[in-house]
Structure 1
């Protein structure tokens, strides 16, 4: 499916599921159900990095909305993760850059298996 063919609800679901998957693929403990609860209801559970989840969610949402993968976008993503002291920043940015690169072609990356 192309990004331009998605409804807003489909895009939101994709961004939410993909954000949780990016965290899991990068070495974080982030069950999809807990991620959805947080993103929809701001319901935090101790021990999970919801600040990193929110940053990754914001990065994915931006890239799908604007279909940009340029130096300022990459720098902003990296800086956001650095600012919140996210662990595994290299892996996180690699996955985010893969999503952003596909978005420039109006394509989605399959949900990562983490």
Structure 2
């Protein structure tokens, strides 16, 4: 797994287990096992880190939507939009519980959560 992916996984874990305030750059770097400079190489600030995580979630949602749209009709009825296939495959906490984006007071996170959920409708 790349350092970038470890950083994103750590950010997800801290957000979902300890909350948004605990997800500082120092805490994320320590949890990921990288230096703060290593984190900043991939994500120059906290907003870029959040954008990277939101992009990952959007990509997972897009894959799920495409898979459900391509599934035969009989299979579609057994695919629950509340538990998409990527959530069953992923071990990342936010793929199982992306509520942090909904609870976030930050506009980009709310906007991303809204746009991702619009695809399920």
Task: Tell me which structure has the larger Cα radius of gyration.
Answer: 2
Name the TM-score, length of structure 2 as normaliser: 0.31
Name the TM-score, length of structure 1 as normaliser: 0.32
Query: Could you say which structure has the greater relative contact order, defined with CA pairs below 8 angstroms and 6 or more residues apart?
Result: 1
- More helix by proportion, 1 or 2? 2
